[in-house]
Copies of this chain bind each other. A is one copy, B any other.
Amino acid sequence: MERELLNVVGKPVPKRDAHYKVTGQALYIHDIKLPGMLYGKILWSEYPHARIVHIDTSKAERLPGVKAVLTGYNIPEIRFGFYKDNTPLKKGKVCTMRDEVAAVAATDPDIAEEAISLIKVEYEPLPAVFDPEEAMQEGAPLIHEEHGTNVLKLPWKLVAGDVEEAKKRSAYIVKDRFRTTWVTHCCMGTSGCIAHFDPEGNLTFYSITQIPYLAQRDFQEALKVLGLGDKKIRVIQTYIGGGFGSKLDTHPYEYIAILLAWKTRRPVKIVFTREEEFRCTSPRQPTIIDITQGCDREGRLTFREVHMILDNGGHTSWGSTTPSVMMMPISSLYRVPNVLYTAKCVYTNNTYCQAMRGYGNPQATWAIECSMDQLAEEAGIDPMEFRIINANQPGETTPQDFKISSCALKECIEEVGKLLDWKQKRGKRNGRGVGMASLIHVGGGARVYRSDGCGTIVKIDDFGKVQVFTGATDIGQGADTVIAQVVAEELGIPVEDVTVIWNDTDVCPWDVGVHASRTTFIACHSAIGATRKVKAEILKLAALTLGVSEEELDIREGMVFSTKDPEKKIELGKLLRSVHYRSQGQMVMAEYFYDPDTVMLNREFKGNFSKAYAYGTHGVEVEVDKETGQVKILKYVAVHDVGKAINPMLIKGQIYGGAMMGIGYALTEEMIFERGELKNPNFRDYKILTAKDVPPMEAVLIEPWEELGPYGAKGIGEPGCVPSAPAIANAIYDAVGVRIKDLPITPEKVLKALKEKEGKD
């Protein structure tokens, strides 16, 4: 790919759907209404752990307008989730306060709501456990008795080198325990779906999923249970009001909609209220992290040992695989030759968790980067210098066998130092301080499923307008925009002439889903593959028309021309029409499926599972009010190695948004559970940051051309939120000498730590 003379790639093209969204014309799941549609509602558990003794649905059934009332007792049993320990409607017992006990479909949402209130459930409360460490103890209440333990039998363990031997060789060692708690995605669009069986038993499912094709497969399993295993399933995605990982799984409410539609033979819509969105969707995993790190006299890391406990909640989603992604920073953020890592996912009667931007990386990086500052202090080295000493380098292979092709981590650290005026500001302990933290993340897809592929079909019409059907999903990140950019770049046409279609499994080729920051890398590679076939065909046709060899032809601004004799040229649309409108005419279309030559992690959790890796460093200057414990961010800089930025505006948008999510994670966001019940299920009490909270912030792109990337690009969807919390914690420590180890860093915790420190001093 030519790095020079790019016309569309590298330009800040506005998001393709921006107009639709700001004018209210974008149709979200909330806006869709099908003829004859019913409204579904769910009755949630009243207890975090209880036996269901009896469910009386008779009053609900008699309510006019009610078309179906379902419980776990009048439907076939569908099991789903990573561990197959979840069902759409619970039978026998409930394990969390968000467990689904009954559901209704009615002609009107208010009738559905009333019907729910008429269902009487008799429970026998059971002893419950809400702390994963308690849940691991002998005699703790068992959440899923059949397993005989609350610890999930999952094999998360990484061993690289010899940590015990390295400890002996280390000059300095630090050890500490860090914690994180629940935070949630706060998608502006609440969850919802519409399920509809056609008269032949095929299912159409209107969805906000991030994984249309995996959802299709999950639902196929469910249809098998309903005796419809040979039927077709079409997933249509509406505009999606934010994903951030929350839609990386199929959810009970989706199966419930399918069951209600199956029972009633009418379309059934379920949409969550904001309170349900808080209570009944799956947040980020809380963790307890024991980390030990050491270095030699020169400050070179000798080992890293991490033991992680994750609160799995009452059921097991795909989120239980976050430990595999936590391994990435643990093994490969900075050069660390010896690594030992274990993780335990533990059932409790809390809510259960799922993917959230970074997928375990923010938790692991929180511990690693706080510990890095501790170790630097122990070794008497400036934390920035310490990071530079240990920075990853292009061409290296990490202990987890990741092949680092491009890497500008050192440049990111140095840039943060420069932007923060690090040497001047650091170490004053005068209530102001600076801190930094780095990250590694997959930037070239991630083979976490057997396939990391994405398909594309491209067709071009008589006017040179191009339709691109991509498997990729746009959840607001701008996937369609960057795909349109690379297609326009390849074909030498305006980006406005490209339409990207991405929302229908019938129409679009397969894709594994929008996760792992993979879309730009994988979907653009796929789109380029199809577009190059189209371009080759166009040049072949133009060569015949112009009487020159195709090798000397190129396209720019919709004109096919000879690079040797620019007078020899033909307008693209005219060429296409000339080959189309004739006997035995032809039109130009092509398809392509891209799947990189990466591997899944092997049994030892090693292997190059991404084609490229993204790095970055965030730096922050804070002011801590010693009277109130309040932390004020004076300056925030986010420097990212993104490869070539296909669309710098959208990338910066991703980084700003990510950083704000990271700052919220650091300082304000927290789901407060008491005995499994969420106490702050609303935006008044759950404090996400808003536009008015944005501190002075700068996103800087470092653009090493990634040879393996599409136009040199790497993925950047998740990294923005990863290192914020440790950077802020490190800055607070620099400002006032206290280290907060539990997220979020509330004024109360700062104040308490300052008081304790005073006591000690």
Contacts and interface: CB of A to CB of B under 8 A. Distances in A.
B499 A461 contact: no
Contacts of A451: 580-582, 585
Interface in A456-499: 457, 459, 461-463, 465, 467, 469, 496-497, 499
A89 to B, nearest CB: 27
Contacts of A459: 455, 457, 509, 591
A568 B283 CA distance: 49
A424 interface: no
Nearest to A20: B199
A389 interface: no
23 contacts: A19-B200, A20-B198, A22-B199, A23-B199, A25-B35, A25-B36, A25-B198, A31-B35, A217-B462, A220-B463, A230-B496, A232-B497, A449-B581, A451-B582, A453-B580, A453-B586, A457-B589, A499-B506, A509-B587, A509-B589, A583-B599, A587-B593, A589-B593
B467 A510 contact: no
B453 A585 contact: yes
A595 interface: yes
Nearest to A587: B593
B199 A455 contact: no
Contacts of A463: 220
A304 interface: no
A419 to B, nearest CB: 37
Interface of A: 19-20, 22-23, 25, 27, 31, 35-36, 198-200, 217, 220, 230, 232, 234, 447, 449-451, 453, 455, 457, 459, 461-463, 465, 467, 469, 496-497, 499, 501, 506-507, 509-510, 580-587, 589-591, 593, 595-599
Contacts of A25: 35-36, 198-199
A593 B587 CA distance: 6
Contacts of A462: 217, 510
A469 B587 CA distance: 15
Given A583-B598, A589-B455, A593-B586, A507 B509 contact: no
Contacts of A496: 200, 230
Given A27-B35, A232-B465, A583-B596, 12 more contacts: A19-B198, A25-B35, A25-B199, A200-B496, A449-B581, A453-B580, A453-B586, A453-B587, A457-B589, A501-B506, A582-B595, A585-B595
A123 B591 CA distance: 59
A13 to B, nearest CB: 13
A431 B338 CA distance: 107
A707 B641 CA distance: 62
A35 B27 CA distance: 9
Given A507-B469, A590-B591, A581 B199 contact: no
A573 to B, nearest CB: 11
A462 B27 CA distance: 30
A449 B447 CA distance: 50
Contacts of A507: 467, 469, 501, 507
Nearest to A591: B589
| Across the A-B interface, the 7 shortest Cβ-Cβ residue pairs | A19-B199, A450-B581, A589-B591, A585-B595, A587-B593, A451-B581, A23-B199
Contacts of A497: 232
Contact of A597 (B217, B509, B584): B584
A580 B465 contact: no
A256 to B, nearest CB: 22
Contacts of A447: 583
Contact of A587 (B31, B510, B598): B510
Nearest to A217: B462
Q: Which residue, of A22, A36, A580, has the highest number of chain B Cβ atoms within 10 A? A: A580
A499 B506 CA distance: 8
A590 B506 CA distance: 15
A214 to B, nearest CB: 11
Contact of A582 (B450, B455, B593): B450
A317 B534 CA distance: 37
B591 A457 contact: yes
A510 B499 CA distance: 16
A211 to B, nearest CB: 14
A462 to B, nearest CB: 8
B457 A457 contact: yes
Nearest to A510: B587
Contacts of A581: 449-451
Contact of A595 (B232, B457, B584, B593): B584
Nearest to A467: B506
Nearest to A35: B31
Contacts of A499: 232, 234, 506
A602 to B, nearest CB: 12
A340 B89 CA distance: 79
Contacts of A591: 457, 459, 589-591
Contacts of A501: 506-507
